[in-house]
A and B are shown apart, each in its own frame.
Chain A
Amino acid sequence: MTVGSLLGSLRRQPVIAVAAIVAAVLLILAVAYPLLTHVDPNGSQLRLRLQPPSWLGGEGLLGTDQLGRDLWTRILFGLRTSFLVSIGACVVGAVVGTAVGLAAGYFGGKLDAVLMRITDIQLSFPALLLAMLVVGLLGKGIWLLVLILGLSTWMIFARVIRSAVLQIRSTELVVSSTSIGATRTRIVLRHVLPNVLGPLAALVALEFARIMLAEASLSFLGFGVEPPGISLGAILAGGRDYLQSQWWIATFAGLFLALAVLSTNLVGSWLQRVVDPTRVTT
């Protein structure tokens, strides 16, 4: 599937096209704004605390929080954290999961049985509770969070890659490569892996969205990013105490999170339909 035909298919699906644009704009904002702004996201001005947005007669584009920090700036820094954690966790999950899925699917047998049983067990155990446990005991830090969330998603990658490999393994491509004497490693890396990249890309987008929500949930509960780190979940937790009168804090932080997750989810589901019409499911 070429980039051109992907774009062509986008033109026929206005909802997905809008979602892709929203996701791109949010990504650019989250990357560029923190680099360009002079406003300190942690700089509190107690004189200006709990100000409504400027269009309601207050201060700043989206108002200020309980410590007088600019909400617009904080939300974009929080969005950057969301993207950063999700990208990191997706890389961890995709690398581990793809390796396991390739091994299980291609080599089969006992290895396959053991690996799939492990994914079963982890899939049936609640990821949120496990993540809270690890963070609660080992301390809070963004890299630990990336690792935990990455390891909470590898099984899904492993499952999907495994079933894609099983389909490819019996095709003429692999049979003929074997017959001309290609080694197993070569077949897996040169022939099987490129053919599972489609489902992999779709899955990355969907898991990316899920991890963004998981990070926000953990930070909301106080088991995620800690100050001076900024997370949308933590902003929401702070805004919760001021819901009665300062509704803008929780409302806008959640709105940006929802936009980011919804747009990546829609793009992911579309990618899944486009690259794989038969739907390789978990």
Chain B
Amino acid sequence: MTRYLAGRLGQFLIVVGGALLVVFILLYAIADPARTMLPVGTPDNVVADFRARYGFDQPLLVQLGTFFAKAVHFDFGESLWQGGSAIGSVLAHLPATLLIAIPAVVLGAAAGLVLGTVAARRPDSGLAQALNVFAYGVISVAEFWVGLMLILIFAVIMGWLPTGGYDPKPATLVLPVLVLAMKPFAQIFQLTQSTMVTEYGKQYVMAARAKGLGEVAVAREHVIRNAAIPVVTLGFYELGRVFVGTAVIVEVVFAWPGIGRLAVGALEHGDVFLVQAIVAVAAIVVAGLNLGADLLYFRLDPRTRSVLKGGS
């Protein structure tokens, strides 16, 4: 048990450290940070001064050492584009992303869970097949296209909702949350359906029915409890995926000032310090959510505990 926790925590640190190492290699070893940050055509002596000021003229290993020494204290330098500390700028943009990411995953997971259960009860029914085709459609369309089409229909043509922009009113949240909820919904729907179908085929279901339990009780007391475990953990993974994947696209489409749009701007401006702060925060959030998912799995499924106790 303790060994398992220590191992998982170690993996968390490896992922975060690995992400920082990759960023360091990209920013400092493969690309030239001074040339990335300064405008094209900057005179050589200015570039040299700049290098000396930020220590880019030091040997790479020394730079790597300082980079990690500062990273441990969440010091990633000053953002040249935004002004102020890079990490401060990232943290200031974090709530906006969470404001759409969390409701989106909750909504997607809830809808996926309910509809997945419905589809699993009668896998061959017309409704189940329609839901499956819908889920495939949702997985196959680009979020930015759906976002634009929703803007076209509900904002431009109908005029019911704003086209975008940041304003924590329910109306501005509707479209970004809906678009962000698409992929988690489809993933969780498919997983719920397949695990529920498997669970319904197991003998304990027959036993529960044989002792006279009604269908609702069979589902609520037995099947859902077993099927929910992978579904809940997938929800955590999906939140991580939404947070740094789809959120970037949705924030650009809806002009939403979260860290996804900040990342696009930081890269466009060649703001090396801001880029490394964003990657660090993204890696911590995503690895943290994955860690949370694993621990939750461990908590919810007694079988993993007995295996670990007996095994190591």
Q: Mark A residues whose CB is within 8 Å of B.
A: 15, 117, 120-121, 124-130, 132-134, 136-138, 209, 213, 216-217, 220-223, 233, 236, 239-240, 243-244, 247, 250-251, 253-254, 257-258, 261-262, 265-266, 269
B245, A128: Cβ atoms closer than 8 Å: yes
Cα(A37)–Cα(B255), bound, Å: 38
A132, B264: Cβ atoms closer than 8 Å: yes
Determine how close the nearest CB of chain A comes to the CB of B151; give it in whole angstroms. Answer: 6
B142, A217: Cβ atoms closer than 8 Å: yes
Number of interface residues of B (CB under 8 A): 48
B11, A120: Cβ atoms closer than 8 Å: yes
B267, A217: Cβ atoms closer than 8 Å: no
Q: Mark B residues whose CB is within 8 Å of A.
A: 11, 14-15, 18-19, 22-23, 26-27, 30-31, 36, 133, 136-137, 139-145, 148-149, 151-152, 156, 240-241, 244-245, 248-249, 252-253, 263-264, 267-268, 270, 275, 278-279, 282-283, 286-287, 290
How many pairs of A and B residues are in contact by the CB < 8 Å rule?
128
B36, A236: Cβ atoms closer than 8 Å: no
Question: Can you name 5 extra interface pairs (CB under 8 A) apart from A121-B18, A134-B26, A213-B140?
Answer: A121-B15, A125-B19, A125-B283, A126-B245, A137-B27
9 contacts between A and B (CB under 8 A): A129-B278, A133-B26, A136-B275, A137-B26, A220-B252, A240-B148, A247-B156, A254-B144, A257-B142
Cα(A221)–Cα(B139), bound, Å: 19
Cα(A138)–Cα(B26), bound, Å: 9
B36 / chain A contacts, CB cutoff of 8 Å: 137
A266 / chain B contacts, CB cutoff of 8 Å: 136
A257, B248: Cβ atoms closer than 8 Å: no
A221 / chain B contacts, CB cutoff of 8 Å: 248-249, 252, 264
Judged by DSSP, the binding face of A is helix
CB < 8 Å neighbour of A133 from B23, B136, B148, B253? B23
* Nearest opposing residue in chain B for A255, CB measure: B145
A233 / chain B contacts, CB cutoff of 8 Å: 142, 144
Known contacts A125-B15, A126-B245; A138/B140 CB under 8 A:
no
B151, A243: Cβ atoms closer than 8 Å: yes
* Nearest opposing residue in chain B for A19, CB measure: B136
Cα(A136)–Cα(B275), bound, Å: 10
B245 / chain A contacts, CB cutoff of 8 Å: 126-129
Determine how close the nearest CB of chain B comes to the CB of A249; give it in whole angstroms. Answer: 10
Determine how close the nearest CB of chain A comes to the CB of B102; give it in whole angstroms. Answer: 17
B248, A132: Cβ atoms closer than 8 Å: yes
CB < 8 Å neighbour of A254 from B19, B145, B270? B145
Cα(A261)–Cα(B245), bound, Å: 18
Known contacts A137-B36, A258-B141; A129/B15 CB under 8 A:
no
Determine how close the nearest CB of chain B comes to the CB of A203; give it in whole angstroms. Answer: 15
Cα(A232)–Cα(B31), bound, Å: 29
B152, A251: Cβ atoms closer than 8 Å: yes
